[in-house]
Structure 1
Amino acid sequence: MSAKIRTLKIIHIAICAGILLVYLFIGNISLEILDFPSIGSSSSVYLFIPVAAFALGNILFNQQLKQVDRTLPLEDNFGTYQTASIIRWAILEGAAFLILFLAPQFTLFGLFIIIYVIFLRPTEDKMKTDLQYLD
């Protein structure tokens, strides 16, 4: 099982590193991003992107996990968990890229998404919790 989790961790690290590198090289990261821009009716759509990505990612993650057969061993349900995790990370990654390219003044929200993706690091305990397996 640890080899499968290690593979998922490598995928997670690659996604996180990719987002961070794009933000470092393309995004203009400085202390100026902490100055929150004024929000008008046209820019309020960009504030909705992180919220929608968070909600959609979690909804699709939970829908994938409903396909799990809890009578099978944990290892047999790993593929479903891996797919669900990658779907959630991809949605969040896409939202971070949308913010960076469409509304660079809201880069701070993209950084919040990146921090959230980093905290979604896969572990065996987290997998057991998400799949509702009891030890």
Structure 2
Amino acid sequence: MAIKTLTIIHTFLVLSLAVFAAFTFFGGPGFVNDFNIENDVFIYIVPIVAVIGYFASKFLYTKALSAIDSSATLNTKLALYQKANILKYALIEGPAFLAFIQFLSNGYTLYFTIGATLMLYLTMQKPSKTKTIEELSLNTTERESL
């Protein structure tokens, strides 16, 4: 059941980001290639936040998975696994939303590209039963229960 819940959460997050990206693409000023970075501090903030979000998601996810006790019950492992995944998703989705919001405000192509790249990466993080078994190193009994 935890994998289904995590899949629903993941799907909702990806779809909400995709809808927002479409809104910014079609409702925004369009692509602007003429950068005027003199008064735009976000030209530095958006890429930095995106890189920090990406690496923080990988680091904290790995750290959370390594903290799961192999002798814990399957329900405990799945709850901690779900928590680690939601944290990873949030650290990817936040910078993507920031990038799309900045694209909406001034239309710089760089912002949309960063947001779309993070959205694609988030899409690739879809949970699956096989991935869960691998990452949690479940024994045979736990695999059958899953």
User: Same fold by TM-score, threshold 0.5 exceeded?
Assistant: yes
C-alpha offsets along residues 28-72 of structure 1, whole Å, 9 cap, x if unaligned?
A: 259x75x86659584233222221111011111122212211123
- Find the aligned partners of 1:5 and 1:46 in 2 and give their Cα distance: 32
Q: TM-score, normalised by structure 1?
A: 0.81
Q: Please report how far the alpha carbon of residue 131 of structure 1 lies from its aligned counterpart in structure 2 after TM superposition.
A: 2.4
- Find the aligned partners of 1:55 and 1:39 in 2 and give their Cα distance: 29
SS in structure 2 at match of 1:28: helix
% identity of equivalent residues: 21
Q: Please report how far the alpha carbon of residue 78 of structure 1 lies from its aligned counterpart in structure 2 after TM superposition.
A: 0.2
Q: Please report how far the alpha carbon of residue 129 of structure 1 lies from its aligned counterpart in structure 2 after TM superposition.
A: 2.2
- Find the aligned partners of 1:39 and 1:68 in 2 and give their Cα distance: 48
In structure 2, the residue matched to 1:121 is 126
In structure 1, the residue matched to 2:112 is 107
SS in structure 2 at match of 1:122: coil
Flag structure 1 segments of 5+ consecutive residues without an equivalent. Answer: none
Q: CA RMSD in A?
A: 2.6
Q: How many residues align?
A: 130
In structure 2, the residue matched to 1:78 is 78
Please tell me whether the aligned partners of residues 46 and 95 of structure 2 are also in contact (alpha carbons under 8 angstroms): no
More displaced 10-residue stretch of structure 1: 35-44 or 93-102: 35-44
Flag structure 2 segments of 5+ consecutive residues without an equivalent. Answer: 141-146
4+ long deviations beyond 3 Å: 35-42, 72-76, 132-135
Larger radius of gyration: 2
Correspondent of 1:16 among 2, 14, 18: 14
In structure 1, the residue matched to 2:93 is 93
- Find the aligned partners of 1:46 and 1:5 in 2 and give their Cα distance: 32
TM-aligned CA distance change 1:81 to 1:44, over 3 Å: same
TM-aligned CA distance change 1:13 to 1:38, over 3 Å: same
**Structure 2 counterpart of 1:9, one-letter code:** T
